Structure 1
């Protein structure tokens, strides 16, 4: 009979302040992996970083996501769901990515293990929650826009003052500076410079 392939596990641990330690989280997860017969391929640790920060501000978490895409492991282990992040939208996105990559998830404190039939139901519910959140955001946005229009407010970004716009037009006319340089010098967005350049082109045509 062919031996069952050992699952490869990745451990993710995080603490919010430098005076905290990830040792307890890692020890508990290693014990779980040993009991389950999972091989730990790497421990990803972020020290002194809040879970509210995005992936780009958490180097270990970013590496974990990249390695998941490379299929370096079969399951991600974390001590608690709040170690992964604080934003529901980010969490749902991360878990959906794992599901798409066929990478499982184990959360010690919540008792979630998607290698089991009961745990797999979590992934099936993610799409429902994600769509619900998107619908809520759409409804709030539409309601906000309707309220703003009813109050006579002008929507969109405010235009720059006449003097700044004149300076932008002069700078564009000389052609000595690129749009990004003009935007930085005058403290405006690149989109504003692009809009004015487009208006100048239409007028010239």
Structure 2
């Protein structure tokens, strides 16, 4: 299954606010209470999984791979899964405010605007580690793109596990993120339950 490129407002109308997918806000919201149909447990789990998938811009295969890695890692599977997804390079750039959405951050990485520890990294799924220094290419075009994104970005607060110097356009990963610092309203246990038969 390829990456989703369709209308984004349609997705947030169905699943709720997903800041990583789009900064737009839906004017109308699908109200479940008006539907007379009984909502199944499968549907609830599926919607939680879709929220996670669309927010981080993953394909089904990528998300399944992250769930398998989280299962093998010591600790709560749901929390480890969210940590893996939050520490991706494209999400880290979005959290620093250098991009307006995660797809925008992925494009910056793919077009080789981003350096990690003075090396170009063009893989959006790169796993950031504590101590990584994220900078941008020292070209006028790269700096103007980042400055424009920072002006458009509605992110006011950088998460606790990151530090951002707006004068030098430089970010630092201080530590691995904790569950309570993640803003996304999602029940990760339902996602793990959804994949329990496939893993």
Shorter-normalised TM range: under 0.3
Larger Rg: 1
Taking CA–CA contacts closer than 8 Å with sequence separation of 6 or more, which of the two structures ends up with the larger relative contact order?
2
TM-score (norm 1): 0.21
TM-score (norm 2): 0.21
